């Protein structure tokens, strides 16, 4: 087990989930935390990552760093999505093993599941049929990451756990229109459309200065600002959103995700997921912290037939509840106080039509969500507006 003095490296500690995990650990009294910004440590640089592990020697690692974005970004930067994420994962996981890290938590995404998977999706749906094309590269990278964790555990007796969160939202979300996810993008669009209608150019300038759009900021000419916002479906009291509005989505408050992640990090071991009796039956020496004593191993786990097929050891993290994109837009409109028009452009892609996950494994491990979507949307808008004050 990790104690309060254990050194824990949180990769991606300024991101949406990483920052929430950092704060959650702090609140629980874990103060020996290590973080590096992207400028301080490029996780795609193998030499730099090795040097970091050589110097810091963390006892546990949370791999929350990722190259992420919505449908538009996934379509434009396909090579980046697979290559950047694969490099980061390979470097961090391999150096964690090389430096005898006790526990590693890998954060993936529920986009790992097939486009037409049965709903709600259990962990066993993985690799049963084709993926959604629009985020295929990101999904493949994340599948590779969870398989790395699973394979290292089976071959080397490590204690690496992979969690697959549903769509996340919350403090420190990405509101940049070019590469943000559906909820923050929608929220900012509705807010800016309201400000244009109100003629509140002071607030528009603050917003654009905080998060420029294609190089245009609050100091740009008004006609330039209106033109670039129109490219993203933002008009005077009107917003145009991609798709039909009918896809169903599940959303999880990022601080709930952080709490689930820390719960798993501190309380759940690989042996808990696959059954300690099966894990022990091949003569591994399972220690109190859930890791395997490599000095008392009968051999490489993956090479022992009596172990059977062990797969899909990852854990879904979500609410088990869903709503349509149109219903989400109605919650955003209410939170922002927008009285304009929201239109859906059916010529644009919807992405996967439904993505609800089964969270029974997570519940059986002792964790359930707390923040419901109706409250969460308002909390997110309050946070966003606070960044502009």
Residues designated as active site: 138
Instruction: Output DSSP code: residue 366.
Output: T
Q: Whole-angstrom Cα distance, residue 225 to residue 217?
A: 8
Q: Which residues contact 220 (CB under 8 A, 6 or more apart)?
A: 208, 228
Distance CA 252, CA 179 (A): 19
Q: How many residues does the chain have?
A: 389
8 Å CB contact between 197 and 340? yes
Q: Is 9 helix (H, G, I), strand (E, B) or coil?
A: strand
Q: Residue 159: enclosing H or E segment and its boundaries?
A: none
Residue at token pair 């239109």: 343
Please tell me whether residue 251 adopts helix, strand or coil conformation.
strand
User: Of 163, 66, 167, which Cα lies nearest the Cα of 111?
Assistant: 167
> Which phi and psi angles does 269 have, rounded to 5°?
-115, 165
Task: Round to whole Å and give the CA distance between 6 and 29.
Answer: 11
108 vs 110: CA distance, rounded Å: 7
What would you report as the CA-atom Rg of the chain, rounded to the nearest whole angstrom? Answer: 22
């Amino acid at each position: 087990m990790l104690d309060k003095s254990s050194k824990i490296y949180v990769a991606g500690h300024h991101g949406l989930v990483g920052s929430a995990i950092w704060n959650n650990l702090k609140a629980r009294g874990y103060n020996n935390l290590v973080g590096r910004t992207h400028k301080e440590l490029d996780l795609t640089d193998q030499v730099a990552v090795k040097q970091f592990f050589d110097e810091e020697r963390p006892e546990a690692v949370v791999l929350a760093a990722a190259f992420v974005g919505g449908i538009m970004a996934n379509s434009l930067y396909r090579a980046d999505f697979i290559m950047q994420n694969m490099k980061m994962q390979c470097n961090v996981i391999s150096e964690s093993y090389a430096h005898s890290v006790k526990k590693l938590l890998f954060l993936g995404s529920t986009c790992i599941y097939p486009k037409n998977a049965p709903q709600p999706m259990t962990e066993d749906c993985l690799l049963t049929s084709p993926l959604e094309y629009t985020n295929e590269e990101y999904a493949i990278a994340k599948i590779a990451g969870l398989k790395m964790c699973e394979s290292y555990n089976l071959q080397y007796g490590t204690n690496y756990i992979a969690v697959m969160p549903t769509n996340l939202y919350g403090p420190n979300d990405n509101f940049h229109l070019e590469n943000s996810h559906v909820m923050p993008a929608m929220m900012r669009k509705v807010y800016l459309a309201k400000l244009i209608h109100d003629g509140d150019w002071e607030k528009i300038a603050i917003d654009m200065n905080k998060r420029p759009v294609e190089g245009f900021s609050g100091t740009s000419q008004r006609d330039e600002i209106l033109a670039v916002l129109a490219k993203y479906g933002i008009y005077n009291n009107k917003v145009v959103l991609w798709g039909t509005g009918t896809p169903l989505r599940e959303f999880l408050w990022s601080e709930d995700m952080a709490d689930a992640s820390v719960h798993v990090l501190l309380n759940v071991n690989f042996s808990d997921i696959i059954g300690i009796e099966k894990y022990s039956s091949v003569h591994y020496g399972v220690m109190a912290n859930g890791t395997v004593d490599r000095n008392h191993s009968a051999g490489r786990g993956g090479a022992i037939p009596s172990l059977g097929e062990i797969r899909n050891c990852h854990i879904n993290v979500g609410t088990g509840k869903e709503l349509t994109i149109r219903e989400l837009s109605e919650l955003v409109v209410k939170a922002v106080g927008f009285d304009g028009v929201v239109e859906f452009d059916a010529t644009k892609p919807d992405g996967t039509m439904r993505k609800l996950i089964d969270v029974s494994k997570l519940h059986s491990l002792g964790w359930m969500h707390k923040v419901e979507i109706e409250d969460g949307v308002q909390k997110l808008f309050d946070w966003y507006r606070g960044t502009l004050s």
